[in-house]
Structure 1
Amino acid sequence: MQLNELSQRSGVSTASIKYYLREGLLPAGEAIHATRAEYSATHLERLELIQALRQIVGLNIGQIRGLVKMADDGAPRLDLLAAVQRVVLNLQNFTTAGGGEAAEATAAVVRLRGWPDLPSDARNALAAHLELMASLKIPVSATVMETYSKAMDDVAGLDIAATTAPESTDTLILTAAVGMHMHSQLLLKLLALAQASHAIRRYEHGA
């Protein structure tokens, strides 16, 4: 298909498509003339990915470029998923002092759940958050960590299972990014509903 048809089928304006081509988000079409190129189903798939990452997940052009470059360069799926998680959940800015109670609590929950004992942005983010809570004098008991981590382990198993099926790396990124973004919001809303329900039970009669 040519540019106009690609625009019609994707719902993306020709100006936006040309912008994505210039920015390296969309691979060039196959040249058939000095001023014309042919585009394929892979371009439609990539445009769907770009639009979802921009409009649903809220990523910027630089973040999207980084993810699609990894896909185009043939990055392993584990690395792709880690990169998606990093940008979608904003894990890249977490640092810890290293060691201490927060690091030990993080290591303890890793051992408890039998998770791979390997460094990751997610692990750094948890340790940093525990450090922050400790600095604010907000206790996190072993019971809380056990209960929360059990629930999250069950949820994560479902989430990752949904990202292992797609053969296309664009579909993998799309499924993972939108899933992480929307399911994390779903978890927060379910938690809010559960908290409200427990509060109603406890206080609805003025107790």
Structure 2
Amino acid sequence: MQLKELSERAGVSAASIKFYLREGLLPAGESVHATRARYSHRHVSRLRLIQALRAVVGLNIEQIRTLVKLADDGAPRLELLAAVQRTVLGLTPVSSGHGDTGTRAGDAVVRLRNWPDAPSDARAALDAHVSQMESLGVPVTVELLDAYSKALDSIADRDINATAAPEDTNELILTAAVGMHLHGQLVLKLLALAQASHAIGRYKKDAESTTLPHP
């Protein structure tokens, strides 16, 4: 297909496509003429990925370039998923030196769920967050970690299963990035609703019991 058809199929303006080509986000098409190139369904897939990462997840051009370069360079799926998670969730890379010191809470949750005891950006982020909570006097008990991790383990299993299907790396990144962003927000919204519901159930009854009856 030529540029006009590519634009129509992907729902992206020709000007944007040319910009993505210049920025290296979109691979060049097959040259058929000095001023024309032929594009394929993979270009459509890449454009849909770029648009979703920008509009839905909110990534910038440099962040998108980093992810698609990993895909184009043939990075292993585990490395690619780790990069997507790091970028979408804003995690600090372990290589920066922030993942060297674990916490008792981090060790405990790994044992509780039988998760691999391996360094990762996510593990470093958990350890850093737990350390901050403890420095503020907010207790992080094993019981708390058990309850939270048990619920989230099944959610994570569903999310990762969704990334096992796509063979196209564009679809893999799209599924993982959009899923991590939207599912993460869904978990937070459900938690907020659960907290509000428990608060209403507890304190509304208290308020009603202390309200004086009308004469």
Q: What TM-score do the two structures reach when normalised by structure 1?
A: 0.95
1:20 touches 1:26 (CA, 8 Å); kept in 2? yes
SS in structure 1 of the partner of residue 46 of structure 2:
helix
Shift of 1:108: 1.4
2:92 touches 2:98 (CA, 8 Å); kept in 1? no
Match of 2:151 in 1: 151
- How many residue pairs match? The answer is 205
CA RMSD across the alignment:
1.4
Task: Point out the more displaced range, 45-54 or 104-113.
Answer: 104-113
Match of 1:32 in 2: 32
Match of 2:171 in 1: 171
SS in structure 2 of the partner of residue 204 of structure 1:
helix
Please give the residue correspondences for 1:113-128 in structure 2 after superposition, counting only pairs within 5 Å: 113-128=113-128
CA distance in structure 2 between the partners assigned to 1:24 and 1:93 by the alignment:
24
Distance 1:93 1:80, change over 3 A: closer
CA distance in structure 2 between the partners assigned to 1:79 and 1:138 by the alignment:
34
Q: Which amino acid aligns with 1:180?
A: M
SS in structure 2 of the partner of residue 140 of structure 1:
coil
Match of 1:74 in 2: 74
Distance 1:81 1:97, change over 3 A: closer
Match of 2:212 in 1: none
SS in structure 1 of the partner of residue 160 of structure 2:
helix
Shift of 1:151: 0.7
SS in structure 2 of the partner of residue 31 of structure 1:
strand
Shift of 1:97: 8.1
Shift of 1:92: 2.1
Unmatched 5+ stretches in structure 2: 210-215
Q: Which amino acid aligns with 1:17?
A: I
Match of 1:62 in 2: 62
CA distance in structure 1 between the partners assigned to 2:161 and 2:192 by the alignment:
26
Unmatched 5+ stretches in structure 1: none
Match of 1:109 in 2: 109
Distance 1:96 1:134, change over 3 A: farther
